[in-house]
Structure 1
Amino acid sequence: MRVDLHNHTSLCNHATGTMEEYVLRAIEEKIDVFGFSCHNPMAFDEQYRMDFKDLPFYFDEIARLKEKYKGQIEILTALEIDFLPSFAEERLFDFPLDYRIGAVHFLGDWGFDNPEFIREYARRDINDCWSEYYKATEMLAKSGKFDILAHMDLLKVFNYRPTKDLRPQIESALKAVKEANMCIEINAAGFRKQVQEQYPSEEILQIAYSLEIPICFGSDAHAVEQIGFKHSELVSLAKQVGYTKCALYRNRERELVEF
């Protein structure tokens, strides 16, 4: 089965194409289960996310497409929710989603994956950044509010790598993921970025596998042509690590299916 759970819409203001175009492309790519997971509304970084007033259209359009293409593809409803405790919107957790993707895109108020703010790397100690990032990731898992951990090593997006061994922090974060009964995604977006590889690294996947943490797959598409991007490479990597099944969610109930 081919499952793709991480995909955006133009409502986030930095993606293109209609939701129906995404679904048609997913059908063309022979995806069996396709999830919309657009960036959550929040009173922070608002130019890169939908507004709360957009949510009714988002949910209604998913419902319409789900019905229209029933029998051709299964469509799931989700949000990618930023873990920013200072700007937490508790009402997001009241919506009837199939799954919640938790993501760390910010260290404090610094959007570290945004090219507009890349100069900030020169002002910071990269090892401190990575330690802070994994601490935030662990806190996300311990919040108990999420089903999927997004792009676990996103901080490598511009190829700024740690210069010391962070395996203890990685293992601590992954143990929190395990305790929270979450899965981690293998995300294709890194191949479209300067880092030129998937999130997370093979090393992280190997640790996750040893802890029996499930995986899922995500194109992290922000354009129609990105649907299904590098899927065969992601599957090959997962199998190389030892995985044979991936997760999907319906009404926040996880199912593992062979891929």
Structure 2
Amino acid sequence: MNQSFQRQQLIRLCKKAEYIDYGMTIKQLTDSLDTSYEEIANDSFEFSLKQVSEYFLTKDLPNKLILRKLNDNIKRIYKDEQANRRIIISQVKTLLSETCPFWVIKTDIKSFYESIDRERLISKFHDDSMLSYQSMFLMNRIFESPILVGNSGVPRGMNISATMSELYMRKFDRWVRSYDSVYYYARFVDDIIIFSNSLKGSLSLIENLNPQLNILAEGLSINEKKTELFDGKTLE
């Protein structure tokens, strides 16, 4: 897989309408991408990020394409597939129509993005040695941005944060799916829904959710006030 941030790789991730919206010609864009790559190659590149409300973003098109490529590198290497809300809703509707006994657990994770231990996550990327030097350099550069220094977790509003959070949750997701009595589990960002075929199993799982989450995704915790258990018969 080509993890390069040269213009040939970045331009593939850009739609014609994007650079037109920015008032740029293709020549201006490629020249700008060449300049950015030179800065990446000599370790002098810096992201231009700004904060709008609780979200972090960039208005610079080359920056956007570099972030897009970095996110693409991570997703491809780690085979990340993020949940689709529409598919989850469709699946849940089907499951709710079943006639066999079942129980449903609904919960969410407190301050999800802000509570992720990004140093632990970056250390994992480093230890795995699957991302290129430039990919790792750019990832570190994101969190070295002055606007993010002092902030915890991963920044809301950036695609790479969604990808990183999915990887951070991967072990916990697998643990829940393999839990005895669980036959369906879905998580969309911080919202979780679980179907179980046993009341006893459901109660046991609820008791173990928070301890296991903190072990498998350190720093995160279940929002116990929003944790609910429903008898499937009452949801008809």
Interval of TM-score (by shorter of Structure 1 and Structure 2): under 0.3
User: Scaled by the length of structure 1, what TM-score is found?
Assistant: 0.26
User: Scaled by the length of structure 2, what TM-score is found?
Assistant: 0.28
* Max Rg structure: 2
The one of the two structures with greater contact order (alpha-carbon pairs below 8 A, sep at least 6) is 2
**Structure (1 or 2) with the greater strand fraction:** 1
